[in-house]
Chains A and B, each alone.
Chain A
């Protein structure tokens, strides 16, 4: 059995030939509560697939290569880890208030065939104001290796997520983000009761939703789905688009004008009625009659603090709605004006999509779809970038006829 010190690395093959391992994270403190999680990240240390964030709300990676069996107890099958996952990061985070300096003792233990093969112990004096620490990493560099890390982030789980390229929705509650509202976390785990395959994706199983209660991962290219309780079908879905008006810098900026982003949607109701709602053409919809979708205003500059808001009052009537954001003018790309879009349902679930395409000429973002799936309504984060309306329509199949227009 190898006892590791902080920073120490070793080849796993020097410890065991086995690829089926158990890893146990433990931490004790009279004042702190801990959560344990495992991030499966890619070669750039990024969590490019949030299904490989194994934690209390998502207890297994899709193929079962990483499973969380009990708090801090993981089963790992390195033979099943997909090729794009290069590193498993084992982290301990404080649930609630507190700092790692108050940790009594902690350990990362690796077992194979029932026997302990490696152990790394750490204690509060190793840390100061960290709220999340990386205990150890198992990583592939030519061969599988083990590293004792023992380093962390004062920003807690959200800083850890950010380190791996993920982001979480800024909670409405004061920071730090409450990762788990209260054990045993009854309402904060809205896993879909009847996960239905997403139509038109052809995927055998839908990606599991990652929901940390109020914290929702936002990653470009990742798909997050939240489920609406139908509850009469009249609970509105609220969509907000906001962006920043940049500080004017000189002559060119003045020429270019203020960035003008537009929120809108393409819709098709179950009745067959279809159309577009957007500032361009002054089509703002209606709250009280079909399509029961209403856009509140056209913010021409990013100056309005609450941005543009679109409300879908009768999701139960919806067959398919595509929420989109587009750059009307004044900005070369979404990233430069910090475009961001939030969808909320009545149960408090949120999807934040940071509009993150730095590409010029991709000024149309198909942000999310809302669609009827059986008797339920499903919101799916799409975040696909297009040149304009026609290209997006082609992808989602509304079949409108498009003509150029201007405000």
Chain B
């Protein structure tokens, strides 16, 4: 039985699912049934050190760079429409292979071309992030963002981070104005 977190809540993944090695972080959303431009949402992952910044641009995993240099993090690919049930995009992580100097993996979703299409997260329904044990398919934790998202065009949904020798997950729900560029710069990526 997965645990559902509210904004700001956190959970020890290691304690909830002892022996956890590989996780799949699923991100999902439903888009409107009304007329207008399609919504194209993109999930990305920032692998950051204790300073909260990436070591290099190679630590920014997104639709144009699907795999980390150490092979521990892999984005399974871009979904252009948000159609269908379940996870719309997902990121696979081998926790045992994440470099020791990576302190945190932040998972963000951005709306592609939001400005010109006049779109924001308030128009996206049922947004969620969930962490699944990739080996057993057991869902460990989930965070439903729908009421925490409004006029933002980029949002950090959640983060997986080290804490005293274990891995934890935090429901973040933090919005950024301006989209993927400013968000990436926030994490120290050279855009």
List the interface of chain A (C-beta within 8 A of B).
Answer: 5-10, 126, 128-130, 134, 141-142, 145, 147-149, 151-154, 163
**Contact across chains for B35 and A9 when beta carbons are under 8 A apart:** no
**Contact across chains for A7 and B120 when beta carbons are under 8 A apart:** yes
Q: What CA separation (Å) do A142 and B151 show in the bound complex? A: 21
Of the candidates B34, B36, B122, B146, the one whose C-beta lies within 8 Å of that of A7 is: B122
Quote the shortest CB–CB distance from B178 to chain A (angstroms): 15
**Contact across chains for B34 and A6 when beta carbons are under 8 A apart:** no
Inter-chain contacts of B151 with A (CB < 8 A):
5, 7-8
Of the candidates B33, B35, B120, the one whose C-beta lies within 8 Å of that of A6 is: B120
Inter-chain contacts of A10 with B (CB < 8 A):
150
19 more A-B residue pairs beyond the given contacts A151-B35, A151-B36, A163-B33, with a C-beta to C-beta distance below 8 A = A6-B118, A6-B123, A7-B120, A7-B122, A7-B123, A7-B151, A8-B120, A8-B122, A9-B149, A129-B35, A134-B34, A141-B146, A145-B147, A148-B122, A151-B32, A152-B34, A152-B35, A153-B35, A163-B34
Q: What CA separation (Å) do A6 and B119 show in the bound complex? A: 8
**Contact across chains for B150 and A128 when beta carbons are under 8 A apart:** no
**Contact across chains for B36 and A128 when beta carbons are under 8 A apart:** yes
Of the candidates A126, A134, A141, A151, the one whose C-beta lies within 8 Å of that of B147 is: A141
**Contact across chains for A7 and B121 when beta carbons are under 8 A apart:** yes
Q: What CA separation (Å) do A368 and B150 show in the bound complex? A: 46
Inter-chain contacts of A5 with B (CB < 8 A):
151
Q: What CA separation (Å) do A148 and B147 show in the bound complex? A: 13
With CB as the reference atom, state the residue of chain B lying closest to A154: B35
Of the candidates A126, A141, A148, A154, the one whose C-beta lies within 8 Å of that of B118 is: A126
Within B32-78, which residues are at the interface with A (CB < 8 Å)?
Answer: 32-36
Query: What string of 1s and 0s marks CB contacts (under 8 Å) between B144-187 and chain A?
Result: 00110111000000000000000000000000000000000000
Inter-chain contacts of A142 with B (CB < 8 A):
147
Q: What CA separation (Å) do A128 and B36 show in the bound complex? A: 8
Give me 8 A-to-B residue pairs in the complex whose CB atoms sit less than 8 angstroms apart, sorted by A's number. Answer: A5-B151, A6-B123, A7-B122, A7-B123, A7-B151, A130-B34, A141-B146, A151-B35
**Contact across chains for B147 and A9 when beta carbons are under 8 A apart:** yes
Quote the shortest CB–CB distance from A216 to chain B (angstroms): 23
**Contact across chains for B35 and A7 when beta carbons are under 8 A apart:** no
Inter-chain contacts of B33 with A (CB < 8 A):
163
Inter-chain contacts of A9 with B (CB < 8 A):
122, 147, 149-150
Inter-chain contacts of B149 with A (CB < 8 A):
9
Inter-chain contacts of B118 with A (CB < 8 A):
6, 126
Q: What CA separation (Å) do A134 and B33 show in the bound complex? A: 12
Q: What CA separation (Å) do A110 and B118 show in the bound complex? A: 24
Also in contact, A7 and B150, with CB within 8 A (given A147-B122, A148-B122): yes
Q: What CA separation (Å) do A7 and B127 show in the bound complex? A: 14
